[in-house]
Structure 1
Amino acid sequence: ITARPVVVVEGVDFMHTGLVRKVDHESIKMSLDHHKIVLLSPLGFSPTGQAFNLAYEDVACSTATALKADKLIFLSNINGLFNSAGEHIAEIALPQLNKYLGEHGLPPGDLRSLLLIAAKAVKLGVSRVHLLPHNRDGAVLEELFTHDGVGTMIVASDIENLREATIDDVGGILQIISPLEEEGVLAPRGRSVIERDISTFSVIEHDHVIFGCAALFQFAENIGELACLAVDPDTQGTGDGERLLKRIEARAKELGLKKLFVLTTRTEHWFLKRGFIRSHVDELPKERKSHYDWDRKSMVLIKTL
């Protein structure tokens, strides 16, 4: 790590405290290519050999951006972000984070510095920054391999391409769902039905093209139906389905719904891995039960929000 001095800021001489000037990412990559683990201390040296004390967050951010890392994970005494209702925020996009900070103000202490450095890393190209509690056994594994995780993940632009649908999206939605309807994966819907229900849909858009959709229907018993979840075959495996599910779950919570159910014939295990449990037609709200298609014999899965 090549460093430079902070020098004097507002009359305060920071002496041996420094900032990262450059990361030798080529040497790090070479070590990683040889299956070595690279440990970096919060120390840096100037070209003349002077040593400087560095902030570990600065070292981590600079290294992650130099390596073009997909993930940057911070383990600290922070349990992540929580909304005004005290609910854990599992994922937040940069625009949402800025809005959150505008409403709540910059928090004190470690969380303040972590949020600022996380936002900087995302702006500089790191895909995801995770804030995890260091005192929770297995926190990294839970965060990476479970649906809800244990900390807060900060991403760049979730809001820009994951949004509520408009009437202009009907054609794009039909292009996504029509092949699945023909295969029997989704129940048939015509254009008129999509147009009627367009306000229930969320879509994922890349470069003004619809690549995924999902709908939420609200019922009286504080329960909602996740319907018509579909993504373009070319983007399957990229996490679009997961993001749509989280979007629908967030909308359901905003509406005060306590449970979410889905009817499926082919994708049971995908939903089971994401917190849904097997149920029965009798557990459906009365209005939805009366329209259940006994010929399709869809499995009923329910998740408590």
Structure 2
Amino acid sequence: MTTETTPSLIDNPALFVQWLRDVAPYVHAFRDKTFVIAFGGELIEQGRLEDLVFDVSLLKAMGMRIVLIHGARPQIEKQLSLRGIPSDFINGVRITNVETLEAVKEACGALRLSIEAVFSQGLPNTPMSGSSINVVSGNFLTAKPVGVLNGVDYLHAGVVRKVNRDAIHNQLAQGQVVLLSPLGFSPTGEVFNLSTPEVAAAVASQLHADKLILLSHENLIDEDNNAIAEIDVEQARAMAEQMPLGQFLRLCLTASWVAVQSGVPRAHIVPVDTDGALLLELFQHDGVGTMITKNLLETLREAAFDDLGGILQLITPLEQDGTLVARGREKLESELPFFSVVEHDNMILGCAALYPFPEEKMAEMACFSIDPEMKGMGLGERILAHMEKRARKQGVTQLFVLTTRASHWFLKHGFVAGNVDDLPSDKKRMYNWQRKSQIFIKKIG
């Protein structure tokens, strides 16, 4: 009996090369971009700090500019317990009196030193081998008190008033990682206890960061317990206000939509319990967390000239293995007006062409292609629905396809088997008897 195992990148050089090629576009796109990454103190309690620092160091080595913001809630709770001070929250905000503030400063100071120490590692045979990363902390945040709300004085709890943007940009330009604690300072020297997600949103917004990434110990899931991959700012706002969520996840959602609404292109809420979640979110197309954008990134639209390269990349392998009829680049370019594409994050993931036969009120859907990595995720169904809608606008009542390998898919989606005599007269004359494609027809009128 033999045991089959999934080939690893190490054991399969071809797989490794393909993986490296797949990652390369992201590396190019992210170089010199500013990422604000925030995480709660729970990550440190779970012993995941080294892994996070290793992954952040890898991003830094690829040319990304990193601002790191840590939380400290469990560490603050420990300090309060040691001092016999009760922990008091109202509306998710810690009431921070003088004694509590001392515990907050003690916890944040210790955490900052621990994080800096891990970044200072350079041991052989570790991900930090050969690294030389400087971490800079400082009084980059000006804060003001929350004040008195609904009769409650929050004392030394604060909110960000201003981020010293120029100072942080100068440090990033010099190749430093900027490390921020959830503490802010007033012009008169007062210290305020801040919310980590709120700090992250303010910093990302005022730095005009390219991404805000919030590592959360809670995941955003739908009613069927499936991870939610992408939402827009209005959905994020509604979820934060209406869904029964843990306090930290609610703060992360709020921080995300605030940052995106303020001009940050994308925010990500990433599950901290997944090993390497930060890298998986950034370098895999679907990621592992929830991405928040101003508008959803996936668009289904008619093709433009700039889509030619993406369409060729999709269909060339299918032409080579005989699934699709071969088209030259010139022919494809001339037929672009017939094509529709699915674009996600500037990548073409699917396409199809619609060739009308007005006299018979019929149209052919051809060159129907989907990125192999996206199969089984409903993309084909969305393309089909789009093409049916496009066909109806042209007065088409019957849609037909010619296929050699996808008969079951079309039967499943409402097509019925036909024959050559059912085709429009012009298409009948062009039918390739050597290829012997199966014919399927669907009434859409």
Q: Is the 8 A contact 1:216 1:248 kept in 2?
A: no
1:162 matched to 2:303: no
Q: 1:121 aligns with which of 247, 259, 266?
A: 259
C-alpha displacement of 1:85: 2.5
Query: For the residues of structure 2 that align with 1:226 and 1:11, how far apart are their CA atoms?
Result: 66
C-alpha displacement of 1:214: 3.2
In the alignment, which residue of structure 2 is the partner of 1:24? 164
1:141 matched to 2:287: no
Unaligned regions of 5+ residues in structure 1, if any?
206-210, 218-224, 230-240, 256-280, 296-305
Greater helix proportion: 2
- Correspondence list, 1:86-235, <5 A: 86-98=225-237, 105=243, 107-158=245-296, 162-163=299-300, 165=301, 182-183=328-329, 194=338, 201=340, 214-215=351-352, 227=368
> Is the alpha carbon distance of 1:247 and 1:42 closer, same or farther for their aligned partners in structure 2, counting shifts above 3 Å?
farther
Root-mean-square deviation (CA), in Å?
4.5
* Alignment deviations for residues 57-89 of structure 1 (CA, whole Å, 9 cap, x no partner): 11111111111111111112122x222332222
* Alignment deviations for residues 132-187 of structure 1 (CA, whole Å, 9 cap, x no partner): 1222221111111112211111111127x825x5xxx5xx6589559966517959
> Is the alpha carbon distance of 1:34 and 1:252 closer, same or farther for their aligned partners in structure 2, counting shifts above 3 Å?
same
C-alpha displacement of 1:97: 3.5
* Alignment deviations for residues 229-257 of structure 1 (CA, whole Å, 9 cap, x no partner): 7xxxxxxxxxxx9xxx97994555789xx
Q: Counterpart of 1:88 in 2: which secondary structure?
A: coil
> Is the alpha carbon distance of 1:149 and 1:2 closer, same or farther for their aligned partners in structure 2, counting shifts above 3 Å?
same
C-alpha displacement of 1:31: 1.0
Query: For the residues of structure 2 that align with 1:24 and 1:190, how far apart are their CA atoms?
Result: 49
Q: Is the 8 A contact 2:183 2:194 kept in 1?
A: yes
1:13 matched to 2:153: yes
1:71 matched to 2:211: yes
Query: For the residues of structure 2 that align with 1:125 and 1:150, how far apart are their CA atoms?
Result: 23
> Is the alpha carbon distance of 1:215 and 1:116 closer, same or farther for their aligned partners in structure 2, counting shifts above 3 Å?
farther
Query: For the residues of structure 2 that align with 1:250 and 1:286, how far apart are their CA atoms?
Result: 15
In the alignment, which residue of structure 2 is the partner of 1:263? none
Q: Is the 8 A contact 2:352 2:369 kept in 1?
A: yes
Q: Which moved more, 1:281-290 or 1:112-121?
A: 281-290
Q: TM-score, normalised by structure 2?
A: 0.43
* Alignment deviations for residues 18-65 of structure 1 (CA, whole Å, 9 cap, x no partner): 110111111111111111111111111110001111111111111111
Query: For the residues of structure 1 that align with 2:238 and 2:382, how far apart are their CA atoms?
Result: 17
In the alignment, which residue of structure 1 is the partner of 2:406? 284
Query: For the residues of structure 2 that align with 1:68 and 1:42, how far apart are their CA atoms?
Result: 20
> Is the alpha carbon distance of 1:148 and 1:67 closer, same or farther for their aligned partners in structure 2, counting shifts above 3 Å?
same
> Is the alpha carbon distance of 1:41 and 1:98 closer, same or farther for their aligned partners in structure 2, counting shifts above 3 Å?
closer
In the alignment, which residue of structure 2 is the partner of 1:275? none
Q: 2:194 aligns with which of 54, 58, 69?
A: 54
Q: Counterpart of 2:178 in 1: which secondary structure?
A: coil
> Is the alpha carbon distance of 1:6 and 1:95 closer, same or farther for their aligned partners in structure 2, counting shifts above 3 Å?
closer
Q: Is the 8 A contact 1:71 1:129 kept in 2?
A: yes
Q: Counterpart of 2:180 in 1: which secondary structure?
A: coil
In the alignment, which residue of structure 1 is the partner of 2:8? none
Query: For the residues of structure 1 that align with 2:291 and 2:378, how far apart are their CA atoms?
Result: 15
Q: Is the 8 A contact 1:128 1:154 kept in 2?
A: yes
> Is the alpha carbon distance of 1:203 and 1:173 closer, same or farther for their aligned partners in structure 2, counting shifts above 3 Å?
farther
> Is the alpha carbon distance of 1:112 and 1:13 closer, same or farther for their aligned partners in structure 2, counting shifts above 3 Å?
same
Q: Is the 8 A contact 2:232 2:292 kept in 1?
A: yes
Report percent identity of matched pairs: 35
Q: Is the 8 A contact 1:78 1:131 kept in 2?
A: no
In the alignment, which residue of structure 1 is the partner of 2:428? none
C-alpha displacement of 1:90: 1.6
* Alignment deviations for residues 102-156 of structure 1 (CA, whole Å, 9 cap, x no partner): 8x63534222111111100000111111111222221111111112211111111
What amino acid does structure 1 have at the position aligned with 2:143?
A
Unaligned regions of 5+ residues in structure 2, if any?
1-140, 313-326, 355-365, 384-402, 412-416, 420-430, 436-445
Q: Counterpart of 1:21 in 2: which secondary structure?
A: strand
Query: For the residues of structure 1 that align with 2:210 and 2:374, how far apart are their CA atoms?
Result: 20
In the alignment, which residue of structure 2 is the partner of 1:84? 223
Query: For the residues of structure 2 that align with 1:226 and 1:106, how far apart are their CA atoms?
Result: 45
Greater Rg by CA: 2
> Is the alpha carbon distance of 1:121 and 1:128 closer, same or farther for their aligned partners in structure 2, counting shifts above 3 Å?
same
Q: TM-score, normalised by structure 1?
A: 0.60
Q: Counterpart of 1:111 in 2: which secondary structure?
A: helix
